[in-house]
Structure 1
């Protein structure tokens, strides 16, 4: 601890740019990032981030400009993202599961000026998929369909024509004096936006939650304190950086505490086991499915997992048996559950060290210090403990609103500042929150939020589909997966396998329905809405 200011990191640092600089000074020779044979100290990380910030300034990035990153968990992601933020940009992390059209939509709506993109990842050329999605348009930049996007930097040694390779981009920053970078960083204020995290609503249109430097710093200083993250911890970051859990509970938390980041680009249980053993991993947050796979892996006993001491999970129902097995079989001293959403800077409630296992397994813990959580009825009236209602949260970490979407912001935030989460929950007498259902019909596939309305809209683009409704069904490996009830157009011979194969080409993998039922018509109520309750009962 560095005094009382530790829990008000917004006051101590003021911005993420100053956090990076301070971490470089405070933890200088310690390992900051390990990526294969590449081992980067905090001092080196600070230098790399300043070089990336200089390159952003050289490329014309001005304070408040949006800069997007579409890449997996790597050292380059960390450097590019923190460099952009240090240059005063508002970071727009893009989901690596997105296809070109989905990414183009986010870039278009944020009017991003600069995009950092991976080369080829999991056999897919992100550049090619983006080119296909943006062929039409009148823009003069690298992609005609994205007129505001001035430059695309490929995080690789070389890049296609009209794009810039990462080394070339960094080299162009050499003309920008260090004092200029420092001045730009120092001009940032705590209430300036630091990032726009895209989420999806039930309307099927993704919305960007605008979060500030102060909100991020204050919330994740508290997260780090409650979790017990400490200097010298070795943190395997499997949660994707495009998600708050990966970026903020991962990168930002490590910068705050002087922990070592070991990014893992793809979750594979064998890779995770090898990393935990080889790098003496002590901290492993992630969805319950990750921990379940580690516990159940037949080769687990061949790996030394004895350094593991801290697990934080959430994003789904956590079986009590999982908590007990992590403690008894892996001897993990601290297992915690938490709940959050993008609109609340990624965190609402969290268990505390010392909570009994049944509280950790059956609830998501209590409100973050300095914030309020309540359960309200349909009219917005607070409900007593033990009664189910919509979970609502109010506090310093709640977004200012959705980016350039006042109508959606007004639906999400009450006039007196309560965020309507759309989740149904119950508070016990001690203030522990249990999430029981989802107003929004959302389901969670291996830790990823899947929104039926969004998937339904994508399915309706298929020329043979006249109508579609999606629900979540249980899955032993992923927790839940999508099942679609589809109405074929007259004369169509479309098969279930054909629709699933088409879906794999058109949408992120976690959105792809795993089961298809063709029906003559969907059950609808008097107002024309699909009665999903009937579909769920039929699916059971």
Structure 2
């Protein structure tokens, strides 16, 4: 830092900086990010300094990330690992491993007395909270946990509150193309059959539209459109995809389905592309996943539609059981009836697995690949 400060007083360098300032804009492309690949090939996204800097500042403010002390960021990415300390003011610890285990994270949290950890994706979040040695570590300093990347199961929220009673868990809603636009504390997560992701961050606009592109009233379901300072510049080298993702007046089509209530709080139900069509009814995967995740034996669950000539699609639930547990389809069907799933939401198939396939970036479950695996196990093929 001393060298940086010394160079900051060098007049020749300052003159060069002023020349560059006249040539550059904070809205120029500053960084390239890649999407998770959950809808196909990961897309290369161009992001600006203006978008990144302000988004980090506003999400930190919304969840009360510490301005002093230490926070653990599990992944060495420039956006957070390098920019966040300069923006927020706190020290950031990054593990030596690019994919740290839950044990490595626990050791760092204890040794560095971290006040916060983020950003955790659902898989890492689950692994950390269910680590059998979690109770052996002193995590009394930890009071903030930020998770993102998926609809958050209520069962995981409840379990996190049990094993980390002094920490508040926040769920951030965002994407590579628009970064974070909403956040809420875990107390409001996964109420009912959706997942509440909270109120909008400052200087962010959101509207929900129907399949014809018309804005729907508050309380009605629609696709989430976002317009904000944090939007990406473009998909690198693909103007066609960029134009398809944006409206003429600057709204980004997220592909997520949700509802904005009277308090302008967003509740998500999943992806437009994940919608299950059963007997002419639309069924959201989360409408089934959220209740099923409450089963005491269930560690993780994913629901999707598989081909069915009579119903267009039949609902298939793929389940990972907790270690040492056993269950069968009859038990799950009975549980679904007991928790109030209506007949149209009742899965026709239950498959039990040891793990789910992940996308290339290892952030999310690859639903497309999981669906193909399930179809193979069930002996099903796409209708011609």
TM-score normalised by structure 2 residue count = 0.66
How many residue pairs are counted as aligned between the two chains?
Answer: 297
| Matching of residue 232 in structure 1 with residue 62 in structure 2 | no
Query: Are 1:194 and 2:30 counterparts?
Result: yes
Q: Greater shift after overlay, 396-405 or 200-209?
A: 200-209
Unmatched 5+ stretches in structure 1: 1-42, 51-176, 242-246, 444-451, 453-470, 478-502, 526-540
2:301 aligns to what?
none
**For residues 206 and 317 of structure 1, do their structure 2 counterparts lie closer, same or farther at Cα, with a shift above 3 Å needed?**
closer
Paired residue for 1:34? none
- Aligned equivalents of 1:349, 1:210: Cα separation in 2: 21
Given candidates 193, 197, 201, the residue that maps to 1:364 is 197
Q: How does 1:133-532 map to 2 (within 5 A)?
A: 182=17, 186=21, 188-199=24-35, 204-239=40-75, 241=77, 247-264=78-95, 265-285=98-118, 286-344=120-178, 346-351=179-184, 357-359=187-189, 362-441=195-274, 473-475=318-320, 515=373, 517=376, 522-524=381-383
Matched position secondary structure for 1:440: helix
Which deviates further from its counterpart, 419-428 or 250-259? 250-259
Query: Which segment drifts farther, 232-241 or 262-271?
Result: 232-241
Supply the distance in 2 between the matched residues of 1:318 and 1:45 (Cα, whole angstroms).
45
CA contact 1:340–1:349 (8 Å) conserved in 2: yes
Q: Distance in 2 between matches of 1:45 and 1:348?
A: 37
Offset at residue 44 of structure 1 (A): 6.5
SS in 1 for 2:244: helix
Provide the rounded CA distance (Å) in 1 between the counterparts of 2:17 and 2:166: 42
RMSD: 3.8
8 Å Cα contact 2:146-2:169 kept in structure 1 = yes
Q: CA deviation at 1:521?
A: 7.4
After TM superposition, give the deviation of residue 271 of structure 1 in Å. 0.8
Q: Which has the higher helix share?
A: 1
The SS at the match of 1:364 is strand
Q: Distance in 2 between matches of 1:521 and 1:336?
A: 40
Using the alignment, how far apart are the partners of 2:116 and 2:266 within structure 1?
Answer: 24
Please say if residues 154 and 189 of structure 2, whose CA atoms lie closer than 8 Å, have aligned partners that are also in contact: no
- Between 510-519 and 270-279, report the one with greater CA deviation: 510-519
Deviation at 1:377, TM superposition (A): 0.4
Identify the structure with bigger relative contact order (alpha carbons < 8 Å, sequence gap 6+).
2
Give distance in 2, aligned partners of 1:408 and 1:321.
Answer: 37
Q: What is the deviation of 1:386?
A: 2.7
In 2: Cα distance, 1:320 partner to 1:357 partner = 10
**How many Å apart are 1:266 and its aligned residue?**
1.7
Greater percentage in strand: 2
Q: 1:229 to 1:417 in 2, by over 3 A?
A: same
What's the TM-score once normalised by structure 1's chain length?
Answer: 0.48
Q: Is the 8 A contact 1:424 1:437 kept in 2?
A: yes
Secondary structure in 1 matching 2:117: coil
Contact 2:219–2:259 (CA<8 Å) still a contact in 1? Answer: yes
> CA 1:217 to 1:204, structure 2 compared with 1: closer, same or farther past 3 Å?
same
Q: Using the alignment, how far apart are the partners of 1:313 and 1:191 within structure 2?
A: 28
Query: Could you say what secondary structure the match of 2:241 adopts?
Result: helix
CA deviation after TM superposition for structure 1 residue 249, in Å? 4.4
Please tell me whether the aligned partners of residues 385 and 429 of structure 1 are also in contact (alpha carbons under 8 angstroms): yes
Q: Which residue of 2 aligns with 1:160?
A: none
The CA distance in 2 between the partners of 1:191 and 1:412, in whole Å, is: 19
8 Å CA contact 1:320, 1:358 repeated in 2: no
Distance in structure 2 (CA, Å) of the matches to 1:204 and 1:333? 36
